[in-house]
Amino acid sequence: MKNETSTRQTVVVKVGGSTLPHREAVLADLAELHSAGLEVVIAHGGGAALTDWLARVDKQPTFVNGLRVTDDETLELAVMVFAGTVNKQLVALLNAAGIPAVGISGVDGGLVRARRQTDPDIGLVGQTAQVDTTPLRALLDHGLIPVVACIVLGPDGQILNINADTLAGDLARALCASRVVFLTDVPGVRGADGAVIPTLSAGETDRLIAEGVITGGMIPKVEACLRCLDGVPEAVILDGSVSHVLRDHVLGSATAGTVFRSRPTTA
């Protein structure tokens, strides 16, 4: 639960591996958000890095609706890559840029407790059951930026993999964040004509998925956007390769990407 004594705006940023080639601009934007007094939480995966490690052991990755099928061997490597190598590399880059970051996973402090996802059944993959924001608040209240890897706590101490987009949306909702931003390698959600769709509703999104317009890894992104809107006013998918797109959207008036907004309540 969000600390009610905090009056600072909270922004959750999902950083994909595709944004790292443009990390100088992304890091500069994160530093500016932090300096502007915003609470920043970063969620990340590392799918490309995990696929590289799977190739080293001659294992072919499998995906269902954009979600990775995770068996015992894949999970072991996922923990090593996500909560280890990728997390610490990202934290090192942030701290080197003067951004006070601390790396954790969804396991630490019981941050994210999950059940096994069964629809579809894709192995050792979690579906969030509960988020305890206490570990995040402890870091945020001391001016630190939590960097959360997509590994979560399952039943009876089991570790589970979780999609990083899903994780970002669930953290944002639990924190009552003002905004969640998904940085990726495309300019937004494209329609059947290839043009970026500026705004999407739940009904429109469902139709585009059913028609096969939204496919693959974009499906969990848009589903994460929609799911968090009962607690987050705005979710947006942005092209992380565009210089300072994060800063311009959060601190400015830029209208890039695809935006999902919760409907205003009426009296």
Active site residues: 14, 17, 47, 165, 221
CA dist., res. 131 & res. 84, Å (int): 22
Question: Alpha-carbon dihedral of residues 188, 221, 226, 86, nearest 10 degrees?
Answer: -120
Fill in the amino acid letter for 239.
D
Tokens of 236: 């947006």
CA dist., res. 10 & res. 266, Å (int): 25
CA dist., res. 162 & res. 153, Å (int): 10
Calculate the alpha carbon distances from 109 to 64, 138, 150, 195, 206 in Å: 30, 11, 14, 43, 35
| N-terminal to C-terminal alpha carbon distance within the chain | 26
Q: Which residues are paired to 235 by β-bridges?
A: 180, 260
Tokens of 252: 């400015």
